[in-house]
A and B are shown apart, each in its own frame.
Chain A
Amino acid sequence: MTRNVYVFGIGGTGARIIRSLTMLLASGVQLTGTHKIIPIIIDVDAKNADTTRTLKALDAYKLIRERGYGNREDVKDGFFGVNLNTLSSVTSEISGAEKPDDSFQLQFENLETSFIRYIDPKEELAGDVTMDLLEALYDNTPPGHDNFSHTELNLRLDLGFKGNPNIGTVVFNNLATTKAFQYVLKSISENDRIFIISSIFGGTGSSGFPQLVRLLQEEERIRANPFGALTVMPYFNVTDDKKSAINSDRFNAKTEAALTYYAKYLKGKINAFYQLWDRPLKQYENKEGGAEQHNNAHLIELIGATAIIDFANKPDNALKSKDKTVYFDFGIQHEDQLIDIRHFYDTTKNTILYPLTLFTYAMKIYLEKIPEFKNEAFYKELNLNHQLTSDPFYQSLTAFFDKHYKTWLKEMMENERKFQPFNIDLADLNSLVRGRQIEVKKVLGIVTNGGITDAFLKERLGKLEDELKKKMPENEREKRFLKLLHEIAEECFKKLEKLPSEVFH
């Protein structure tokens, strides 16, 4: 029986891991028994750049899949095969619940104000003992002070909680009253799975995670559904900035406090608990949120996304009862500052890195080779001369490969620790996969096998398109093109023969 998997990404880290998940699903990572993946980003920081670009990647994916495969549910493999969709796509009519916008984001209400105005919108607490309590609990630096706008009571909530889970808890408590959340509760059926991603060292994720578990499990009907969670512990620092509300010196203390709280409070509520951390090597610029919070993609986020794949693919009998929460870590074969495919174990290579390799071949061929093949028959048959520049499907595909996937790879390549599985800036496709070169074979100085050359690509693209055209009608041209990209990537992989491997001692 197929099921939907609801993936809640809380805060900036949640959004970044969903961004990585989007890339994995686009590459064709397989999901078994899953009908739809419903990513739901929960972030009060409406302008957070990490969230914004994740939403753009999700929207591009959705458009490509809809144009490529329509609403067909039998398509489950190949690029963009997984049905990744919005909450509003789950069911057309749920009685008693207002359908939310066709968006991947769950919107809070009434957050365009400061924390104190959120608690006391009509200023009724002035002089009251409750206000004394609030001032005792939260930073109440007086007006006129340099740091006044950064103090806890005066933080603007639509800019995020800036590392203050004590504020986040109060705000998340009101999530249950929003129409969108009511729709979430009603749309989840008994067979569906729920996965929650959060960081433990910030403000939004650490406070939102336990609150979200509580709010979801208040709904009796879905209390027994399988719950999975990924908690990301510190994997980066931020620069010191006395004017900022965020201080990475407090990351570890906050992590410890949150873990202690989770150990007590979340006992018996989660079936599978994934935990990730890395020694912080990178110091990001200290940005409190908004459009400036634009953290580069990190290997940890890619590994975090594999946790969602793992949870979605677990057979029902592998998920024990919530009393016996199963904990998962992720390890690589060898400690290094620069990671590539060779550092991973075979299971990850086969399930994650093989599809990513195919997708990277496809990206290079789509962005760099196909535009040079204007005179080839397959190019004309697919009417690419016109379609590549004017059709929304191809525009979205170009944006996905160039602005989303390529950028995501480059960011991971430049981050610390570096993840460099591919030489994406080299024109030679024989050198694309780090650690495994496709050898050019020569006899008496004459090339007998040039590997992945333009001539090879033209020939294979022509023949593959000719075969696909016989199987697929003209009105499925976008699907045919996605299939063509997948098959040419497989042909390239045949030249590579296998992913690189190395025995580390």
Chain B
Amino acid sequence: MSLLKAEGLSRRFGGLLAVDNASLSVPEGGLVGLIGPNGAGKTTLFSLLSGFLAPSTGRVTFDGADVTAEAPHRRAARGMARTFQIVQPFAGLSVRDNIAVGAYLRHAGRAEATRLAEAVATEVGLAPMLNAQASSLTVAGRKRLELARALATEPRLLLLDEVLAGLNPSEVRDIIPVIRAIRGRGVAILMIEHVMQAVMNLCDHVHVLSGGRMIAAGPPREVCADPMVIEAYLGHGAAARIAAGGAHA
């Protein structure tokens, strides 16, 4: 059964249809990728899923309940947590206090919230930085902090918006096992990602968004070979040229 389901989502900004009749689903415990060229509407779709934007048309259901009109904090309480592509740390707070804000969602006491925050920090590799100010973290550290805060809400579904963007290859290599371990605990993940190495490695299913529309879906290898997808990234006729070039070589 699918944990998250979006049906026919559209979002219009004035004359621009940023997301056009997009549908997707994330199964319980699954790891699904959402890829697409820049400006395809991936982050807008994320905002529709997490409640930061209301869709012009369409429906979002989470665990069987219609959440289309629910505010983000209600969805978080249901077990949906998101990270932001442009990291949004509580800059003046320590790493521990940052993560604790997430932990307080299900733990009212300071002691439990702090304990959970520390456990999550260890899980994502932020344990040595617990007392540091969030504003002093590197880009990689801030990405981990985004992940840690979302995890501290003890979600059933994580929406990761480019947690690997801006990281160098060795940092990417470090964080992939972290994501796999989170999935291993039964947390479903929907990730927007440009780093194809990670998508190929992690996802069991990929959706491709281009110009606001879903143009392909399927296992990562199939999707990457899909001529529609290649053309969305590389331009009209690219698939044919690659095929021809491959034949010559």
Partners in one complex: no
Binding site for A on B (CB under 8 A): none
